[in-house]
Chains A and B, each alone.
Chain A
Amino acid sequence: MTSATQSAAGGRSPLVAALAGVGHLFARGFTETGAMLLFLGQAIAALFRRPFRFSLIMAQAEFVGVGSIFIVLLTGTFTGAVFTLQSASGLARVNMDSMVGSMVMLAVARELGPVLTALMVTGRVASAMATELGTMRVTEQIDAMEVMAVDPVQYLVTPRILAGAVMVPALTLIFCFVAGVGSYVVAVGMLGIDEGAFMSRIEWILDPYDFWQGFAKSIVFGLVITLVGCYKGYNASGGARGVGNATTQAVVIGSIAIFVVDYLLTSFLLIFEPK
């Protein structure tokens, strides 16, 4: 390597500089994950301290749950419908198209339901939470709350995280139901698959475990979405630009976190799959 190249890299080779950059990225990722977990711990601990803010929790539950119903209904119905179309086409090649309902519902209950619901909610809820808390942070409203001897984590964060943990599973159940309706309409109504066969295969193949797995995942996803949104907003700085960055990061990191957590949870929950 030439001395010019070495000086440009601050005395290190480009390979070492690149590795150092990757190392810093990982170190920052771990540090921030740790900070978020501590933040989650604060929020959960605040749940058990007076005052218990029922009205704030209900307001957030309405925002997360009721506010997201339309998008979940739409996504769920079309997911069930499209997945049925594609699966029926493939299964027809091996004369197993009557299995389409059970295959779609198995995938929806275990994966598509919790993951797609979480992704839809991330775009709406995590961004709104990051924006709202970020704006409060940069305009000193959170400082004002602290100065007035009100715990801002208990007031602002705990209701949001609890609402996420409760409403995202509820939305997931709705997703699964409407996906089933979408699948039924396409399979039985449009493709002419026998209704009896469609329903009986679902009963035969699906196990309560499939829904419990999806439900358990959705609770964790609800926590992740609201935690990332609240953490990014609560720690925003740098005016309007900082709030914008916090919002973008909340959606991006929240979405990535859902996939990573999904893999880890699935690996763990499969241990409990009934044989």
Chain B
Amino acid sequence: MIRVVDLYKRFGGHEVLKGINLVVRDGTTRVILGVSGSGKTVLMKHIIGLLRPDRGQVLVDDEDITKLDKADMLRVRRKFGMVFQQAALFDSMSVFENVAFPLREHTKASEAEIIDRVHKALAVVDLHDIDAKFPSELSGGMRKRVGLARAIVLEPGCVLYDEPTTGLDPITTDSVDQMILDANQRLKVTSVVISHDIGSALAVADDIAVIHQGEIVEDTTPAGLRQSKHPFVQEFLHSWFKKQ
């Protein structure tokens, strides 16, 4: 389980996170919904330990990761996989080498085992026969899938998604949403999704937290979100419904 307790973070004179409290239950998909600049990516970076807070705690399986040294942080990070907004594939490596990278770094698996596990991970995201391709040869949707395959190849307990549908067309957005649901179902992982896409949030989430100007203003289920009385949440939903 992941718990964020009373988290504060400031950059220069600007307070980005103002007392965030959040729980991510094991085996569920938690969506953190907010507009650009609301602090959601900063919050995610705290969960994965890329940033340290000014105040507060981030507890991963009851361990406060904000106090860990570099070696212990590396150990905790192996519990996570992360899919970045632009997939962040290593562009000097092929698809195979990208997905194999965590296996080569953290396991003593033989080459045959690595090949098998890479192909299994790619199959989870419905990709086949693209081992030799390079990231520059892939579409945006395919890059996201390869990014997810790389994130799950070590079978982590939790997968983080940073704006997985941003910049994608509606058809690809739907397929990425389905990819998240399938991965969750097949792998039984906990998922944390950072997004400003209400449609995707409603499609994939078990729990939704709405973040606005560094604060959680609503913490509910998809059904509960539609009934929210908070003015910002209503405005957010209204602008989305207007486009449907």
Interface residues, chain A, with chain B CB atoms under 8 Å away:
51, 135-136, 139-141, 143-144, 146-151
Closest B residue, CB atoms, query A150: B105
Contact check, B86 vs A147: say whether CB atoms are below 8 A apart: no
Contact check, A140 vs B88: say whether CB atoms are below 8 A apart: yes
Contact check, B48 vs A139: say whether CB atoms are below 8 A apart: no
Q: With contacts A149-B74, A151-B74 known, is A144 near B84, CB below 8 A? A: yes
Partner of A147, one of B82, B89, B105: B82
Closest B residue, CB atoms, query A147: B82
The answer to the question of B80 belonging to the interface, with a C-beta cut-off of 8 Å to chain A, is yes
Give the residues in chain A near B81, CB-CB below 8 Å.
147
For the complex with contacts A150-B101, A150-B105, A151-B70, 19 further pairs of A-B residues with Cβ separation under 8 Å are: A51-B105, A136-B90, A139-B86, A139-B88, A139-B91, A140-B84, A140-B88, A141-B88, A141-B91, A143-B50, A144-B82, A144-B88, A147-B48, A147-B80, A147-B82, A148-B77, A148-B101, A149-B74, A149-B75
Give the residues in chain A near B80, CB-CB below 8 Å.
147
Total of A-B residue pairs, C-beta within 8 Å: 45
Interface string of B208-233 (1 = CB under 8 A from A): 00000000000000000000000000
Q: With contacts A141-B90, A143-B50 known, is A148 near B84, CB below 8 A? A: no
Closest B residue, CB atoms, query A142: B88
Q: With contacts A140-B85, A140-B88, A141-B88 known, is A146 near B75, CB below 8 A? A: no
The answer to the question of B27 belonging to the interface, with a C-beta cut-off of 8 Å to chain A, is no
* Majority SS at the chain B contact face: mixed
Interface magnitude class on chain B: 20 to 34
Contact check, A147 vs B78: say whether CB atoms are below 8 A apart: no
26 pairs across A/B with beta carbons < 8 Å? A51-B105, A136-B90, A139-B88, A139-B91, A140-B84, A140-B85, A140-B86, A141-B89, A141-B90, A144-B84, A144-B88, A144-B90, A146-B50, A147-B50, A147-B77, A147-B81, A148-B77, A148-B101, A148-B102, A148-B150, A149-B74, A149-B77, A149-B105, A150-B105, A151-B70, A151-B74
Contact check, B85 vs A148: say whether CB atoms are below 8 A apart: no
Partner of B105, one of A135, A136, A144, A148: A148
CA–CA, A151 and B70, complex, Å: 9
Contact check, A143 vs B78: say whether CB atoms are below 8 A apart: no
Interface string of B17-58 (1 = CB under 8 A from A): 000000000000000000000000000000010100000000
The answer to the question of B128 belonging to the interface, with a C-beta cut-off of 8 Å to chain A, is no
CA–CA, A219 and B165, complex, Å: 49
A227 to chain B, nearest CB (A): 21
* In the A-B complex, the 10 residue pairs with the closest CB atoms: A144-B88, A140-B88, A149-B77, A149-B74, A147-B82, A140-B84, A141-B88, A149-B78, A148-B102, A150-B105
Give the residues in chain B near A147, CB-CB below 8 Å.
48, 50, 77, 80-82
Contact check, B88 vs A149: say whether CB atoms are below 8 A apart: no
Give the residues in chain B near A139, CB-CB below 8 Å.
86, 88, 91
Of the listed residues A135, A136, A140, the one surrounded by the most CB atoms of chain B closer than 10 A to its CB is: A140
Closest A residue, CB atoms, query B160: A147
Give the residues in chain A near B106, CB-CB below 8 Å.
149
CA–CA, A100 and B92, complex, Å: 49
